[in-house]
Structure 1
Amino acid sequence: MSISVIRSRILSQVISTPNINNQTVRNFAAMVKAKVYKFEKQFQGVPKETDLKLVEEELPPIKDGEFLCEAVFLSVDPYMRAYAPRLSLGTTMIGLQVAKILESKNPKFPVGKHVVGDFGWRTHTVSNGNNTFDHIIKKIDHYVFSDFGKLPLSYGVGILGMPGNTAYFGFLEVCKPKAGETVVVSGAAGAVGSIVGQIAKIKGCKVIGIAGSDEKGKWLTEELNFDHFINYKTQNVFKTLKQVAPKGVDCYFDNVGGEISSMILNNMNLYGRISVSGAVSGYNDTSVPKASIVQNPMVFQQLKMEGFVVYRWSDRWSEGIEQNRKWIEEGKLKAQETVTVGFENMFKAFTEMLDGKNTGKAVVKV
């Protein structure tokens, strides 16, 4: 067991001791050390483990308005690779986590509660509650994770957090689906795509998921109630899509970009809508990715394509979480997680997620 973990556990005991002196708590907190992954070298193609450096940082005592928290679950997501070029060398690797508040001088963040925050790849953090990476990506400030009863805490960085809201707002607000329409989701077995497909079914749509293994396809069709699945590694997406969607596609939720998306656009109906959440197929490219011309279907089918960043709806953040929670409780929405144990395995979980080895949300349990 690491020294930092031992110290944090002792700190938790110190905090819970009756009549404990605040100065004693602060003095002990000053001894807490955090393990941190620093961004040492810009990724060139597929990220390499040597691009990051694991270091230890001693944390200062908290000041008025601050709190000390310890990571419980950390998220690994495709956007981390996309935003990496914006990171300055030597900074903490970007990322969300669910953390437990160990000490606080901020009434909005009480001791013992769990907070969702963009603290990055680190085990312990001193924060004032503001977005850590605001200069990189506009996010919402850290917030205390609501009590969702028996649902896992990890959902705070998954279906009841950023990925869940990405699916909820990105699909419903951009695609505006109607009952009876045909919806295609790429990256369908991932954290966002799997939720989009289920929401589409809730809204009465026919849903076709695209992913990279028959095992994932079985999960999509048998567990999540997708109508069809296309394995892009073994099937011709263009031809298969014509077979399973003979009347064309009305809505496309795009997580991957590239040639797959070009094929789907060429199968879309008049006034079709495309919601662009990401383009993971090109994140590791060292040059500007090339794809087939999409202007022809865009013009002749009068398609609407719109990209988005989920924090556009930050003023409605709780709406998405509460609706997804309600659907979970009603049995209409299911979540699956690929959990990697151990902070030291962050990089492994990150690269495996980029390689599509996860089903559902990829998280790291500290």
Structure 2
Amino acid sequence: MASTDFDAEIKQLRATMHTIEQVLDLDGMRREIDDLGVQVGAPDLWDDQANATRVTGRLSDLQGQVDRFTAILARIGDLEALVELGREEGDADSLAEAEVELTRIAKSVETLEVRTLLSGEYDAREALVTIRAGAGGVDAADFAEMLMRMYTRWAEQHGYGVEVFDTSYAEEAGLKSATFAIHNSYAYGTLSVEAGTHRLVRISPFDNQGRRQTSFAAVEVVPVLEMTDEIEINEEEIRIDVYRSSGPGGQSVNTTDSAVRITHLPTGTVVSCQNEKSQLQNKASAMTILKSRLLALKKAEEDAHIKELKGDVAASWGDQMRNYVLNPYQVVKDLRTGFEVGNPSAVFDGDIDGFLEAGIRWRRGADQTPV
């Protein structure tokens, strides 16, 4: 790469970082960090555990964002020094190393830039993900389990916590449904673009004749609510059932009726939780899930009028938003953004950042389309 290319690329990186700094309001973040630091230092902080958790979580999130920004700036500075050294000494190896680092930094800046597009009301929240097997029998159940692994692997690779609330296993293989939380700020804004119908095409490992099978799974993503969110549930409008937790194939994993299912009668919304050991803990978790789903339902109703004004969107074949094709060729393609990769194995192993970033940019463009 010529020296003028380095100069132009680094100049562009710094310009983008300056824009990101303004959008994120780094000075405001630092002021809030100072204020939260004072609160964390108070001796009575943990007298109110809910507030203490909120304060410490917010402090960790803000500090992490500031640290990521400053780390990228430092890398750009180091890159400039490496380029200058390579030029002065005519060191081709140093310039080659600089070219590799330039590509890495550009990717980091792009990822940080995508974060600035997450400005929705609940985008900064943690995510509650539910996956349900659709049409396709045992292949669909197996596909649902593959998707759950994909998202949990993605979270693990980024160091995000995962908490499984409920899993309903299919009789032969896979999952009927699963609900789990991704514990990281902006997890909802990031993963919300995954909501929709996913389609898998492959030679079925469950078909004795080795025929190609098409199966579907639905992904639902809602924000995890905080204590301050105003979602009130009338006790008279819910039905609570308790039952015994079970594992794969119906095998009992609990000898007491600790699992909890809550039905919201006015909307017909049903949630369940069997991850915790006590019925009380499962009830509390199930209520959290129910509130999150009712919030999503409320927002969907509010958005319905806007969607009507925009008119019907031309749908692709069926109603899927992404195809995972393993036979007769291999590709994973998002039908909304056009983003695709030719390595399904990597995608199912959690390599979905490209799809997430493309989806976030696509959504921002769709939101700004004139009514």
The verdict on a shared fold, with TM-score over 0.5 as the criterion, is no
TM range, smaller chain:
under 0.3
TM-score, length of structure 1 as denominator length: 0.26
Larger gyration radius, structure 1 or structure 2: 2
TM-score, length of structure 2 as denominator length: 0.26
Structure with a larger share of its residues in helix: 2
